[in-house]
Chain A
Amino acid sequence: MTDANSTPSVRSNPVDPVGAAGATRSARLAQPGWRGRPAGPRARTTGNGLPPFQRFLDAHSECVWRFLVSSVGPTDADDCFQETFISALRAYPRLRAGSNVRTWVLTIAHHKAMDAHRARKRRALPVEDVAAVDGRTTSIPQAPDDGLWDAVRELPERQRSAVTLRYVGDLPHREIAQAIGCSEEAARRSLHEGLTKLRKVVSV
């Protein structure tokens, strides 16, 4: 895929995790193939015209943070944020300039969020208890519509992902599908089901 602007290029990009649907998504992010330092001191193609990573971080940190706070809640958001951008840093030099980098980084964030949800399930403790055990407390003031986001976080995995990627990540359906690793039709359906469920449990 040579056209970097077409969305499928994100999917087929060799460093991009989007195509890696399944339980091993984040494991793939950490594969050795992602690491490789630039070939030599004066390697010419290292940059690929990409901006310095710091600029990429400056441009996307807020979007990723909002997405993660919504998706996993304030307690786990920071860990997921760190993991997201460290994975992105590893893969960054091989990203094609002109790729849709926001979709790319939100896809990584989405995978980290799913890992966090699964880990939490394994711990089998509600978030509040974990915070108490850890002695960690959230410094984030409770937003007025927090009940809504608690309800979002209770949604089945795919519905939750579709809702957060759509409304917080502001991704179009096609890119939500890429991030989740499903068809566009399935993404639309998950979004619709999620909204229907939310209408039943919250009043806005």
Chain B
Amino acid sequence: MSARTQDQTDPLERALRRVRDEEPVHREEASRAARRLTVRIADEGLADIGYGSVDSPFGTLLAASTTKGLVRLAFPEEDLDTVLERLARTISPRIVEAPASLEHVRRELDEYFAGRRREFELAQDWRLMSAFARKVLGATYEIPYGGVSSYAEVAADAGSPRGSRAAGNALGSNPIPIIVPCHRVLRTGGSIGGYGGGPERKRWLLELEGALSPAGGT
């Protein structure tokens, strides 16, 4: 520890340490260099997942894409770090912020929210879904814009006619809401049922698509 005691008094060592403790210019330069880096990583496809924010009528969504396509869309109340850490654990920790790589997601969602798009063309990656969820959400994906179905029907389409509760759980775990239209699945009998982003959002989406009248009936 004599070295450390000496450091405090030795002017040369103090001067050498100054570059670490002072000069905030380095902080700005470092964050600029880091931004150049993430742009390059995205351009050269070096990361396994790129993420960025997407504005929506519900607030700012988080979109994350693998090399195959959109893998996750998270509503504003979901914690960014929690979502990213889960992606790191389940897919790969090679995750960087890459807003430019999500431009097509932003554009299609903008068009959808403006009522100008009825089907999404963007590439998707369904790897976060379990085998069963993939069947249920696959059946859900077939429900057209403006249409609705029921938990029992999608359960039957997924090959599990008595599994409407399990189907409900699978829909609730949908990693790519809106794009995979779990909002089009209602309770048998027509009441709106639950929704990951809250029932008001579900109603809003169904009204946008013309499946529900704004008055609130079915």
Please list the residues of chain A having a beta carbon within 8 angstroms of any beta carbon in chain B: 37-38, 41-42, 46-55, 57-58, 61-62, 64-66, 69-70, 77-78, 81-82, 85-86, 89-90, 92-93, 139-141, 143, 145, 148-149, 152, 163, 166-168, 170, 195, 198-199, 202, 204
B93 adjacent to A195 (CB under 8 Å): no
Apart from the given pairs A81-B33, A93-B92, A168-B19, 6 other A-B contacts in the complex at a CB distance below 8 Å: A47-B88, A47-B93, A52-B87, A52-B95, A78-B36, A152-B16
Contacts of B31 in A (CB 8 A): 61-62
Q: Nearest Cβ distance between residue B179 and chain A, in whole angstroms?
A: 19
Q: Which residue of B lies closest to A188 (CB)?
A: B3
10 contacts between A and B (CB under 8 A): A47-B88, A47-B89, A47-B92, A51-B85, A58-B34, A77-B33, A81-B37, A92-B94, A148-B16, A204-B12
Contacts of A55 in B (CB 8 A): 81, 84
Contacts of A42 in B (CB 8 A): 90, 127
Q: Nearest Cβ distance between residue B43 and chain A, in whole angstroms?
A: 12
Q: Which of B20, B33, B85 has the most CB of A within 10 A?
A: B33
Q: Nearest Cβ distance between residue B181 and chain A, in whole angstroms?
A: 23
B89 adjacent to A49 (CB under 8 Å): yes
A57 adjacent to B87 (CB under 8 Å): no
B23 in contact (CB, < 8 A):
yes
Contacts of B46 in A (CB 8 A): 86, 89-90
B30 in contact (CB, < 8 A):
yes
B117 in contact (CB, < 8 A):
no
B77 in contact (CB, < 8 A):
no
Q: Contacts A70-B19, A167-B20, A168-B20: A53 and B30 contacting too (C-beta < 8 A)?
A: no
A51 adjacent to B29 (CB under 8 Å): no
Q: Which of A92, A139, A167 has the most CB of B within 10 A?
A: A167
Contacts of A57 in B (CB 8 A): 34, 37-38, 96
B93 adjacent to A51 (CB under 8 Å): yes
Say whether chain B's binding surface is mostly helix, strand, loop, or mixed.
helix
Q: Contacts A52-B95, A93-B92: A61 and B19 contacting too (C-beta < 8 A)?
A: no
B18 in contact (CB, < 8 A):
yes
Contacts of A48 in B (CB 8 A): 93
In this complex, how many residues of chain B approach chain A with their Cβ under 8 Å: the count is 44
Contacts of B84 in A (CB 8 A): 52, 54-55
Q: How far is the CA of A41 from the CA of B13 in the complex (A)?
A: 51
Q: Contacts A70-B19, A167-B17: A62 and B26 contacting too (C-beta < 8 A)?
A: yes
Q: Nearest Cβ distance between residue B84 and chain A, in whole angstroms?
A: 4
Q: How far is the CA of A139 from the CA of B46 in the complex (A)?
A: 28
B20 adjacent to A65 (CB under 8 Å): no
Contacts of B11 in A (CB 8 A): 204
B25 in contact (CB, < 8 A):
yes
Q: How far is the CA of A51 from the CA of B89 in the complex (A)?
A: 8
B33 adjacent to A61 (CB under 8 Å): yes
Within 8 A of A (CB), among B124-180: 127
B 93-127 binary contact with A (CB < 8 Å = 1; else 0): 11111000000000000000000000000000001
Contacts of A92 in B (CB 8 A): 93-94
Q: Which residue of A lies closest to B66 (CB)?
A: A41
B37 adjacent to A54 (CB under 8 Å): no
Contacts of A199 in B (CB 8 A): 12
Q: How far is the CA of A170 from the CA of B7 in the complex (A)?
A: 12
Contacts of B25 in A (CB 8 A): 140-141
B12 adjacent to A195 (CB under 8 Å): yes
